[in-house]
Amino acid sequence: DQLPDKTHHGWKYIKFGPDGQLYVPVGAPCNICLSEDPRFAALLRMDPKTGGAAVYASGIRNTVGFAWHPATEELWFSDNGRDRMGDDVPPEEINVASRPGQHFGYPFLHGSGILDPRFGDDAPNLEFTPPRLEIQAHAAALGLDFHNHDQFPPPYRGALFIAEHGSWNRSAKVGYRVSVVTFEDGEPRYAPFITGWLEGERQWGRPVDVLAAPDGSLLVSDDQQGAIYQVTWNPSR
């Protein structure tokens, strides 16, 4: 068994990549810590033929959703920031791994340059890869997927959809929605896409994952309601 047995941040998705390898995220076994085991806070890549496994990317506290860009095949993934630093720090991250061996900062650095109060001064002399996009702290960005079908109108063709599960430890709740990242001249533009699960401080649903279906619709799972919603576009309306 090549995976650690810690359960903290242990609920994960696994996927085969365009290279035929199996990608398996392993979360940090804590809120904030530095583990001697390099498999923690990392994304592993496994060869299904040989059974061999290696760290593909590190410095990732708690990634859940990940997907490959349909044109560049770069790996985009969410990462949930640490707790107990405040309502608005550190941000949730959407990161891009363009090659093996990148380090995304945890536990030393959060977001684009927030030093961790406990580990920031001990940061090794490494090149940290900043996030491609920052999201509201504690929104809990989980599953994500690219939509590359003409069933949706521009600019949603090729857009990245993100399920925000919602906060549990913030003074005012955030998240509880599906957001979208569109691209203008290659630059990401982040905006809400589906809202309504949160009414004031009461939530009636929690998005977990999104999936671009073969028919061009977008599927959204909700673990509070035990439901899967199908989102389609009707050009006549």
Structure token digits, residue 4? 């650690």
Q: Which helix (H) or strand (E) holds 211?
A: strand 207-212
3-state SS string for 98-143: CCCCEECCCCCEECCCEECCCCHHHCCCCCECCCCEEECCCCCEEE
CA distance 140 to 72: 26
User: Are 90 and 137 within 8 A, CB to CB?
Assistant: yes
User: Are 126 and 173 within 8 A, CB to CB?
Assistant: no
The CATH number of 61-231 is 2.120.10.30
Q: Around Cβ 92, how many Cβ atoms within 10 Å? A: 26
pTM above 0.85, yes or no: yes
Residue 16 β-bridge partners:
22
Render each residue's pLDDT in the chain as its tens digit; 237 residues.
Answer: 667 777 888 878 899 999 999 999 999 999 999 999 999 999 999 999 999 999 999 999 999 999 999 999 999 999 999 999 999 999 999 999 999 999 999 999 999 999 999 999 999 998 999 999 999 999 999 999 999 999 999 999 999 999 999 999 999 999 999 999 999 988 999 999 999 999 999 999 999 999 999 999 999 999 999 999 999 999 877
Number of H helices, E strands in the chain: 0, 20
Looking at residue 1, its pLDDT comes to 63
Looking at residue 2, its pLDDT comes to 67
CA distance 177 to 184: 23
Q: Around Cβ 5, how many Cβ atoms within 10 Å? A: 7
Residue 230 β-bridge partners:
219
Burial class (CB in 10 A: 0-12, 13-18, 19+), 69: middle
Q: Around Cβ 211, how many Cβ atoms within 10 Å? A: 18
CA distance 40 to 30: 10
- Domain spans of the chain? 61-231
